[in-house]
Structures are given as structure tokens and as C-alpha cells.
Amino acid sequence: MNIIAELHCHTNISGHAFNSLTEMAQAAAKKGLYAMAVTNHSSIKDTLSHLHFYCYKYLPRRIEGIFLLSGSEIDLVDFEGHVALSEDILKGLDFRIASKHNPRDTAFESRYGTPEENTQMYLGAAKNPLIDCLGHLGNVTVPFDHEALIPVAASTGTVIEVNTSYLKRSKENVECYRDIIRLCRRHDARMAVTTDSHSIYTMGDFSVGTKLLEEEGFPEELVINSSTERLRAYFLERKGRDIFEDEMCL
């Protein structure tokens, strides 16, 4: 399986990543990628003002030989699945990932939920039309009912991320992801392989994710970033227009 777009990465403007937007785009181009979504965090400690997410209008759609997509990895702030950016900002972004992070790292008061609470949280996010993707569901520190969530994500068109950074962290995460992938296959839920890169050194290294999908016989047609045609078709369907034709990112 070939992956042609990085849909989850962070830049050093966030304070806790290591390379600039230009360096990340150059690394993506060097890897032969077609597109890169920059998805800096909303509401992680030591991160950006919300004004940042209005400012993609200053960036061209094409930089360094690749397509640039605007985005954010937005924190889930409660167990109903509310997120840390306003609807107004969310509407302007191309790819919106909702994630639950370690309570230690978040800018608001939070805690790890019970499996029941986490399931409700992810269901709330999956039903939000302003959320495109659920981030690192294979993180075993946030357990949830896979069988309850995946059919709903399939019906709302919410993409389930295969996050190679989390796959590299533990064997438990790999097994958790294996179960999620099997359910996505059974229910025809769409997936995307991402690296969650915080530096140029992991940009475009999708291999642990594609290997796992191949082991589980996951159909390539359901991986939105597995070809330029699939990527463009996904955004055409999701946004109702061809964002790749834009001059600027917002």
C-alpha cells in the first residue's frame, strides 16, 4: 500500500515540535508526497492562540512542490465529545482531527475517562460534521467500546486514523489498532495512515501502519490517502468542492 499524503503533523510554531512549516513541506516533497495537512494542536499546553487557525488565508495552497492542507488536531474537552475550537474556526479548516490527550498535557481540566465515558466522547465527536477524523484511537490509555463506535464512524464518514507514532509506542497499541482495523473492514469505515510527525525525521514514514493494514487485508479503497485520486475524491465529497483548485489555503 502506498501513502501519498501526510494528514497529521505539527510544526515548531506550536512550541513543542522541532521544524518549521517550510522544513516539514520540504521533507514531505523529498519523500515524494502529494499533499501535507498541517494539524497543530488546539488546547495542548504551550500552544497556539486561536488566531493562528484563521491565518491559513496567508498561505498558498501549493508550497515546496506539494499541496498544503489546513488543519488542526483538536482536543476533546469533555465526555460528550465537545472540542476546543469554535465552529467558526472549524468551518475554515480542511482536515479536523479530534483527539483525547494525556490530562497532564492539556490546557483545561481533564482526566482519563472510563471506557463508557470514552465511548460517549468518541461517539459525540464522530457525529459532529465539523470533525473529519478521530485521532490515535489505538492509544490503550483511552479504552472505549470499539464495536459501538466503528459502525457509527462508518455511517458519518468519519475517518479513523492509523497513527504510526502510537503504533511505535507499545505492543498493546498495535493489538488495539488491529481490532479497530478489523472492525473498520467489517463496517467499511474509512481510514488514513498518518505519522503525527513533530519533526522532519519521521515525515512520510508510514510503513508500520501500512504493514498492519496489509496484514489485516484492509482494502486500499477505504484508505483516503492511498492515492491522489482517492484523496481528491474524499475532499470533494467532504467539502462539496475541489479545494485543490484554491489559490490560498483558506
Binding site for Zn ion (CB under 5 A): 10, 99
For residue 66, give the H/E element and its range: strand 66-75
Contacts of 102 (CB under 8 A, 6+ apart): 141
Q: Which is nearer to Zn ion, 48 or 150 (CB)?
A: 48
Query: Which of 103, 25, 14, 129 is closest to 68 using CA atoms?
Result: 25
List own/partner pairs for 13-16 with CB under 8 A and 24 or more apart: 13/40, 13/48, 13/52, 14/40, 14/41, 14/44, 14/46, 14/47, 14/48, 15/46, 15/47, 16/44, 16/46, 16/47, 16/198
163: β partners: 194
- Pick the closer one to Zn ion by CB: 10 or 230: 10
Q: Given the complex with Zn ion, which of 197 and 227 has the nearer CB atom? A: 197
Supply the minimum distance, in Å, between the C-beta of residue 170 and Zn ion. 15
Minimum CB distance to Zn ion smaller for 8 or for 232: 8
Closest CB to Zn ion among residues 124, 135: 135
Please report how close the Cβ of residue 16 comes to Zn ion at its closest, in angstroms: 6
The label of the residue with cell 467500546 reads: 145
Q: What residue number has its CB nearest to Zn ion?
A: 99
Report the alpha-carbon distance of residue 158 to residue 239 in Å, rounded.
13
Cell 498535557 sits on residue: 105
Find the shortest distance in angstroms from Cβ 195 to Zn ion. Answer: 12
48/189 with CB nearer Zn ion: 48
- How many angstroms separate the CA atoms of 199 and 107, rounded? 22
Of 75 and 94, the one with the shorter C-beta distance to Zn ion is 75
- Least separation in angstroms between residue 8's CB and Zn ion is 8
Instruction: In angstroms, give the least distance from the CB of 189 to Zn ion.
Output: 20
Least Å distance, CB 31 to Zn ion, is 20
**CB 246, min distance to Zn ion, A:** 27
Q: What is the pairing mode between strands 66-75 and 95-99? A: parallel
Q: If we measure between CA atoms, which residue out of 169, 170, 196, 167 comes closest to residue 180?
A: 167
